[in-house]
Structure 1
Amino acid sequence: MGPQPNIATAAFLIADPARAAMLMSLLDGRARPAGELAFAAGVTAQTASSHLGKLLAGGLLLVETQGRHRYYRLAGSHVAVALENLASIGPVVTVRRKPLSREAQRLQFARCCYDHLAGSIGVAITHSLQERGFLIAAADRQFDVTPAGIEWFGCMGLDVAKLRPNRRGLARQCLDWTEREHHLAGPLGVQLMSLLCSNGWLRRSESSRAIQVTPKGWTGLKEQLGLDAGSFTLVA
């Protein structure tokens, strides 16, 4: 047998509740200092430093130094994909749970999945793109972009022909851990969220992964994809 991937090491690192909390707080793709990550995990600075050292050594995090400060981020989108996929594993039956906090409800509605849009709005946009024949589900958890889709994205200001597929493809099906359905990821998903933010349709939170749809965004989503704010449960 050839060399085997060391799944156990990554699984061990992610399994610790404090380390898992740190990793999940970095799923918006931003870099954060150790103090913020310690607060997110509910541990002391000393304990956080130990955890961060292990995550760095295990290849799950990268660190940037600016002056006296060190900022930590996920090692790449592959780590984010693994975390989101792990979060989606669980019973599909309805069980009694405590009501979600306001922040949890905001994340369920719309959030960053590292570099693309996730949550119920991300899934709804993806469904609408499929219903209109702009995307077609393909093998290997990919989406094919149809000629009509290329035209629609172009009218929105996104030139699909200029995008370069990464090793996971151009338009990937990413399993949404709160919705248990797929949303759009890959370079196309990344650029779509970037476009919607730059157009003022979406607004990113400064302090969390949550994303807000602006009034301008609801107007555009209604006109372009038939998505109405009244169809969603919104949290102020």
Structure 2
Amino acid sequence: MQITISWLRANFQTFNRRYFDGGLPEPRYHIGRSRTRLGSLSFKRKRTWRKVINYDYTLGMSNYYDQNEHQFQSVLLHEMIHYSIAYTGIRDSSPHGIVFRGIMDRLNRDGWDIHVSSSTRNLAKSALPAHTSENPNKQQHLVLAIEMHDGHHFLSAVNPRFARELNNRLRSINEVSHFCWFVTEDPWFDNMPRVRSLRGRRVDPATYQEKTQTMTPFSL
């Protein structure tokens, strides 16, 4: 089988209530085709004068291999353990240390198959189409979001063949304060041209925030 964003969201919400007392804020979701990592958790970190704060969590999973639902759910739970430890700020002895293994053992007693590390050696590549939507006929867009030092915001639907080139160019443009990539099926982008250069639609800050909060982060 292959999972979708809606599957990921529904299972996250169920497990959040069942195993984490509903205490984990909903993260961003990402489904990719990684060959080496079945799941991932990423987040940003900032230091205040009192402590270090983790925020902006993204939970990712891979559709590269053909797994059954129980296997996918066990991978999701693995990443949710990481999320719980990072969000609560608990110090563990290592990335898969005493705290992680304690939670893992508790969940495995409930019938799951969570491991410290998962081998892909015996997994077969998925023969299903590489889509992450309930409706494969929807258009999927690669979106570039740019914030400028002058306060302007831009959104672009990008031709994927030119994404790396644009990404490299953006790193040297001083006027850009921040940029990031997303994938989305939002029909708002359907009629936008797939640009090959650094141009996009200027939007107000509210629209920029609304769109970037509902899209799935993407790493080039």
Q: Which has the higher contact order (CA 8 A, sep 6+)?
A: 2
Flag whether TM exceeds 0.5 (same fold).
no
The TM-score, its normalising length taken from structure 1, stands at 0.18
Q: Is the helix fraction higher in 1 or 2?
A: 1
